[in-house]
Amino acid sequence: MNPNVVIIHEKDNVAIALEDIASGGSASLPGGGTLTAKGDIPYSHKIAIADLKAGDEIVKYGEIIGTAKEPIRRGEWVHTHNLEIRD
Amino acid sequence: MKTFKGYERADGSVGIRNYVAVLPSVACANGVVAAIARAVPEAVPMYHGHGCGRGGADLEIHQRTLVNLAKNPNVAAVLVVGLGCEVLRAEGLALGISLSKKPVEYFYIQNEGGSRKAAAKGIEIARRMLADAAKQERVEFPISEIRLGLECGGSDAFSGVTANPAVGLAADWLVSEGGTVILTETTEMIGTSHILERRAKDAAIARSINERITAQEKRTHEILGPLASYVIAPGNMDGGMSSIREKSLGCIIKAGNTTINQVLNYAEVPSEKGLVVMDGPGYDTESMTGVAAAGCQAMIFTTGRGNPIGYPMVPVIKVASTSQLYEKMEDDMDVNAGRVLEGRLLREVGDEVKDLLVRVLNGEKTKAEVNQQDGILCIYTTNPAF
């Protein structure tokens, strides 16, 4: 199966969905491995590829794009509801 | 150590093309420059709309821009065509250009007895300059001699997922080889000041980055008023962007993740290597002039909607963000980064960009060069003409 998410930088803890992934559906990672979507991930949105604690940095493009407002599990949708800007 | 074959210039820089440029000092000289270019099609006309009717900061910007464009290493020799009564005198431009020790000549249309006689004189000079330039051969140089300018234009939702990150990998590679990469378009850095400051080599550079981005944000609000929010606010949250910062990161990722070693004014030549930031507008064509004047021998331009524009004297590599665009405008697109959406790894597309860049440095023509997408020089201004 072709990857249906993109990981932009090796430090990233989120990937970008290349199609709508329904809750319980499979996200196939580039370079191998899969994870299960915990909730619907809309096309071009972010999916966590690591478990994050509240206060952990959210990294995309190898840079900090925000902080986890609450614990985020691997496979969850990451957006404004659970990401905040602190600095 | 990676090398390429280029043309050595008297000031120690290295060109990847060997052009003779014909530069009007003022817009009123464009007609004579066009007559010269018709008779000598190998010469590159540098048409622009400036040279008079402005003062202060703009005069300084335009003088610097025209001189530095002519000093670009891809230019072997320059003929400056003046009118005679303009503010930006041909003589002054020629003097500035001569500091690079490359052959430069100038004359004034009013002193030559009008446009026909001036064109005849220009044709003779351009032919002679071309004959001299043709004697020069490519020799081997380290890739650290290369300055690469980056652009994105007509972006789409995938530019920040496919094309820009792939170009970022090529930019990191060039920096690791000792070369120079110029990131500009300050408008597209809005929201990323903290991140870029952290990547600055020292505190002074970090401060300068902050000042430039803050000023550009203010200027954008002044110019556009309430419309500024469409440019700089997260208008695309539905597309998955959680903040303006994330959106801007999708633009600046094309410059990779290395340390920022210098901050430049528009059209200024860097003294440092590695990654350098140039303050400048987000408008593609003016921004391209800024990086060409900084001495970039090549540019990489990512596009989502499909912009075909090239640049006089400087090869422009087009990287398409989707296969849909690549297939629709294949005559204009050099690399299809859209393959990332079909399972190709970013690293593989990054390598494709890098390999094409090296071939272009060695003389392979980009699609924009083949299509002669040269256009005119669009130059940044801060005020209207008087």
- In the prediction, which pLDDT does B229 show? 62
Quote the number of domains for chain A.
1
Average pLDDT over residues B310-319: 97
- The interface predicted TM-score of the complex, written ipTM, equals 0.89
Distance between CA atoms of residues A73 and A59, nearest Å: 15
In the beta sheet, which residues pair with residue A64?
A59
Across the interface, of B192, B240, B253, the residue whose CB is closest to A46 is B240
- In the prediction, which pLDDT does B260 show? 98
Lowest mean pLDDT of B10-14, B245-249, B267-271, B303-307, name the range: B245-249
pLDDT beyond 50 at B327: yes
**In angstroms, what separates the C-alpha of B341 from chain A's closest C-alpha?**
7
- In the prediction, which pLDDT does B234 show? 47
Specify whether the CB–CB gap between B314 and B349 falls below 8 A: no
- Residue A52, domain CATH: 2.30.130.110
pLDDT beyond 80 at B243: no
Q: Which residue has the higher pLDDT, B311 or A85?
A: B311
Predicted confidence (pLDDT) per residue in B213-224, tens digit: 999 989 888 888
pTM here? Answer: 0.93
Contacts of A56 (CB under 8 A, 6+ apart): A13, A67, A68, A72
The range of the structural domain enclosing residue A55 comes to 5-84
Question: Which of B79-83, B185-189, B195-199, B223-227: highest mean pLDDT?
Answer: B79-83
Position B149 confidence tier, pLDDT thresholds 50, 70, 90: very high
Predicted confidence (pLDDT) per residue in B21-43, tens digit: 999 999 999 999 999 999 999 99
**In angstroms, what separates the C-alpha of A38 from chain B's closest C-alpha?**
17
DSSP letter (8 states) at residue B267: T
Of all residues in chain A, the one with the smallest CA distance to B238 is: A45
DSSP letter (8 states) at residue B329: T
The pLDDT > 90 percentage for chain B reads: 81
Q: Which of B181, B366, B213 is nearest to B280 (CA)?
A: B213
Specify whether the CB–CB gap between B284 and B151 falls below 8 A: yes
Match 């350098």 to its residue by tokens.
B276
Average pLDDT over residues B186-203: 92
Distance between CA atoms of residues B249 and A63, nearest Å: 8
A and B: number of Cβ contacts within 8 A: 67
Q: Which residue has the higher pLDDT, B236 or B155?
A: B155
